[in-house]
Structure 1
Amino acid sequence: MTTILKRTYSYYFLLPAALIYIAIFLVPTLMSFFFSLTRWSLIEWKFIGLENFITFFEEPSLRIGFKNTLLYAVITCVLKVVLGLLLGVFLTSKIRTKGYLRSVIFFPTLVSTIAVGLAFSMMMHPTQGLINTTLAKLGIAGPDWLGNPDLALISVALVDVWKGVGFATVIYIAGILSIPEEYYEALQIDGGGALHKFWNIIVPLSRPATNSVIILSFIGGLRSFDLVWAMTKGGPGFSTDLIASIIYKQYQGGFYGLATAGNVILFLVVTLLAFPLYMYLNRKEAEL
């Protein structure tokens, strides 16, 4: 009896967190699923079934939005993994200023995404921006970074990487520092060099950090909105439109039910893509 009481007593400590989770996440999620089946405004609603979903999938820019979203997520994810790992290795090496450099690398993560987007949109101006002005002094004709449909999405993705690579680097630093020194000592006895240390010890043993960076970066890329909207608003044309920006445009137009259906679709897309990836990475990690 005493054991049951102790076990029940311990569950009470979970109650505040459970109530917050229900109020902030579970209830709004269920309401979104319901209102996606309605035509609603702030004062009234009408049940219309799957009509919003049908209309949303008939959106002309949706196919471009899906392609851009997946491409954006892959580009940002791959670059954050590669650059985060390399910076993590560099910032765990024996350099005197690594504490200062770590803070410099992490600083962009703390800056407002909207502020970063506005700053880089000015820096990437084709004639007056800092980037092209600097290139012109070197005798290089800079492109229209955000006005060229072929470059705009990649340009925004690179800014996303600049802002988010610091967080990936911190995860890698934690993962690399957790590797036992015995592995390095054994490699040194065997006569291995820096390249062997990187490929045979750091890369495989920092796999948990890599998995975390992949999942967080990929989900963040799929859900990205604020940076794209601050820099291009989905333009030129539909070249940088993501699913989230298409949804926002529906909200702007007053199609609240349609936009809610889009949010549900985005939720399902993220779940269907991220969950299998998470399971695959965990299975690969368990095989090591």
Structure 2
Amino acid sequence: MPAKSRISPYPYWFFLPAAAIFVVFFLVPTVASFYFSLTYWDPFEARFAGWDNYVQFFSEPYLLRGTVNTLAFAVLTSGMKTVIGLLLAVLLTSGMMGQSLLRSIVFFPVLVSTIGVGLLFQELMHPTQGAINVALAAVGIDGPGWLTNPSLALFSVALVDVWRGVGLATLIYIAGLATIGPEYYEAARIDGATRLQQFWRVTVPLIRPATTTVIILSLIGGLRLFDLIWAMTRGGPGFSSDVLASVIYKQYQAGFWGLSTAGNVILFLLIALIIAPLAWWLNRRSIDS
């Protein structure tokens, strides 16, 4: 009988660099965060506090408002990026004139610093001197306080986040559209399907894996967004545009480092509890279809 072939460990060595990076930059900081969330700590010492930080975090008066704002912001921006990104991708793969240039223009905001985008739109949305309200005044429209009106501040930041991030959604959809063979559309045309019917019956179902990717990435980005909100409103006016990330940062600024670490752990768990089942459900639907 031939000897049993021995499996060489050589191919698995290529996993070592990725595993080392994962352990050093993700696993160790995650475990350390869980530990420090149970302490009162500063750069010089850490005193065990048990669950006190979590109890205090959940007693924060503006925690509920920040949680609602976080969920509303994530759902709104994810939905808008998904819809607008798909429509732009269809438009930019239709063979229109200058579509390569337009693709670059749509994707360009993704490459710009988020802080830079926030500071730019903070000036553009100034209630009296901002270019947006100045342009509206030129046509006889009294522009609102985009960032000074508590009812509009979070929505205004959401619009800027969509403008900044829709290019990535568009790029993902363009890659997804490239995988759909022309024979599907040819068969639909033979059956008498209109352009709109081809879009709903051919494009949307076959591009579902790209849609899943866009929804998951957009939701994760929306749930953990901090830099754009801080650059534009700092959670104001008042606490109207505060999200969980900005509440955590304010605690850190006040010197409650253990409390802010507990907040980061809670935010991590919230994202995991939302994204994990949603990704499972969306991927299952993609496979079933």
Q: TM-score w.r.t. structure 2 length?
A: 0.98
- Residue 207 of structure 1: aligned partner: 208
Alpha-carbon distance, 1:3 to partner: 4.6
**Which segment drifts farther, 190-199 or 86-95?**
190-199
Question: Size of the alignment, in residue pairs?
Answer: 287
- Residue 258 of structure 1: aligned partner: 259
CA RMSD of aligned residues (A): 1.0
Distance in 1 (alpha carbons) for counterparts of 2:255 and 2:226: 19
- Tell me the SS of whatever aligns to 2:54: helix
- Residue 137 of structure 1: aligned partner: 138
- Tell me the SS of whatever aligns to 1:39: strand
Structure 1 consecutive aligned stretches of length 4 or more whose deviation exceeds 6 Å: none
Show structure 1 runs of 5+ residues with no match: none
Q: Deviations for 1:44-90, whole angstroms, at most 9, x for unmatched residues?
A: 01001000000000111100000000000011000000000000100
- Residue 243 of structure 2: aligned partner: 242
Alpha-carbon distance, 1:194 to partner: 1.1
Which residue type is aligned with residue 129 of structure 2?
A: Q
Alpha-carbon distance, 1:280 to partner: 1.0
Distance in 2 (alpha carbons) for counterparts of 1:166 and 1:12: 37
Which residue type is aligned with residue 56 of structure 2?
A: T
- Residue 268 of structure 2: aligned partner: 267
Which residue type is aligned with residue 87 of structure 2?
A: L
- Residue 118 of structure 1: aligned partner: 119
Alpha-carbon distance, 1:191 to partner: 2.1
- Residue 163 of structure 1: aligned partner: 164
Alpha-carbon distance, 1:2 to partner: 8.1
Distance in 1 (alpha carbons) for counterparts of 2:170 and 2:113: 19
Q: How does 1:1-288 map to 2 (within 5 A)?
A: 3-6=5-8, 8-288=9-289
**Which segment drifts farther, 189-198 or 122-131?**
189-198
- Tell me the SS of whatever aligns to 1:46: strand
Q: Deviations for 1:254-276, whole angstroms, at most 9, x for unmatched residues?
A: 11100000000000000001111
Alpha-carbon distance, 1:285 to partner: 1.1
Which residue type is aligned with residue 130 of structure 2?
A: G
Q: Deviations for 1:119-178, whole angstroms, at most 9, x for unmatched residues?
A: 000000000000000000010000000000100000000000000000000000011111
Distance in 1 (alpha carbons) for counterparts of 2:146 and 2:79: 21
Distance in 1 (alpha carbons) for counterparts of 2:178 and 2:185: 12
